[in-house]
């Protein structure tokens, strides 16, 4: 059973609030300083596991959303009898984004990874 040094505890405290927010979506309402070393290590390990699980779920959801978006794009192409580039223009226009070409907003709206914005720009 090892004991954390004061510097190690301070390092952990410096990012615990962010880690907690990543795990639960809000800042913690309790004082981490009151935890023992063992409780602090256990809480840290628990939060890391939750964040990792959240990241896996988010990536899976983004993959499903990407498939749905591609289907939506194909549906617009079929409806309008047009190519992807024109269909993308119609989608942008439907959200009032034709002038700004805010592809990142579309990624947010459709729950896509923001890297998809670069793909959208190529349409």
For the stretch 33-71, pLDDT in tens is: 788 888 888 988 999 999 999 999 999 999 999 999 999
Residue 75 has pLDDT above 90, yes or no: yes
Least confident interval from 29-43, 65-79, 95-109: 29-43
- Dmax of the chain from CA atoms? 69
* Res 29: pLDDT: 84
* Res 2: pLDDT: 63
- 64: which 2 tokens? 């499903």
């Amino acid at each position: 059973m090892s004991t954390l040094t004061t510097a190690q505890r301070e390092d952990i405290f410096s990012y615990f609030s962010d880690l907690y927010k990543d795990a639960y979506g809000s800042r913690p309402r309790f004082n981490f300083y009151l935890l023992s070393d063992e409780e602090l290590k256990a809480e840290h390990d628990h939060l890391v596991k939750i964040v990792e699980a959240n990241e896996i779920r988010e990536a899976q959801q983004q993959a499903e959303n990407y498939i749905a978006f591609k289907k939506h794009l194909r549906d617009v192409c079929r409806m309008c009898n047009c190519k992807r580039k024109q269909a993308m223009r119609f989608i942008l226009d439907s959200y009032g984004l034709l002038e700004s070409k805010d592809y990142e907003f579309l990624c947010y709206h459709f729950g896509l990874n923001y890297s998809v914005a670069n793909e959208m720009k190529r349409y």
